[in-house]
Amino acid sequence: MNYLTSQLLIQEEIDTLIENLKKENTLWEDGKKTAGSHASIVKNNLQLNRQSEISIKLSNAIKKKILANPLIKSFALPKIIHGIMFTKSLNNMQYGRHIDNPFMSSGRADLSFTISLTDKSTYEGGELIIEEMNSEKEFKLNAGEIIIYPSTYLHSVKEVKNGERLVCVGWIESYVKSIEEREYLFDLDAGAKGLLAKNGRSDELDLIFKSYSNLLRLLGS
């Protein structure tokens, strides 16, 4: 499974984030400032100044929510969560086809994530398009929902035709770089936890958890 979508934030948390972001109208700046030389050509959105006090505060809150989520931890095996930004797309804004930088000052980008702070019903357009080898997938998220996907994929955000698209984006450096190896570990972890919930602890299950832990030691970095 290369993608994960999950509800990360409850409505109260979303309302608090949006309330804080709306107070900082003067801190929104051209999104091109943080894009690479190639991506900046196709980037047209606004982002909250990453060095601002409110951006740092909210980014830390998002990081804690991600690390406290068992499903995300199992899927992504996060070592470092970094580069968190709050971005806003208004009418006629979009982010064209691009690839994320593999290395940033804050860490390696193995996985990218987007958390929607506005519900998909409140704006037109703004779909996230992720390209695979022979196909592309389109995502439009509910408020508080997160999508995590490999940073190795080309992706884009369609033009917002009406309304406002407000999201939080960032990157994950995983303990396991390989997409395939992360998938094997995720399936093994999910299967073992499912058996534990269904049948309780057993000697056989202890061996499965042992194998999972030792594979993580072997494959991790």
Phi-psi category of 38—alpha, beta or left, where left has phi over 0 and alpha has psi -120 to 50?
A: alpha
User: Which pLDDT band holds residue 88 (cuts at 50, 70, 90)?
Assistant: very high
Sign of the CA dihedral 6, 9, 14, 20?
negative
**Interhelix angle 179-199/203-219, nearest 10 degrees:** 160
State residue 134's pLDDT score: 83
State residue 198's pLDDT score: 92
Name the pTM for this structure. 0.94
CA torsion 72→73→74→80, rounded to 10°? Answer: 110
What is the CATH number that goes with domain 4-174?
2.60.120.620
How many Å apart are CA 118 and CA 112, to the nearest integer? 19
Residue 120, CA distances (Å) to 21, 98, 139, 175, 190 in order: 19, 23, 10, 32, 29
How many Å apart are CA 167 and CA 176, to the nearest integer? 26
The answer to whether the beta carbons of residues 5 and 139 sit under 8 Å apart is yes
Residue 83 has pLDDT above 80, yes or no: yes
User: Which pLDDT band holds residue 66 (cuts at 50, 70, 90)?
Assistant: very high
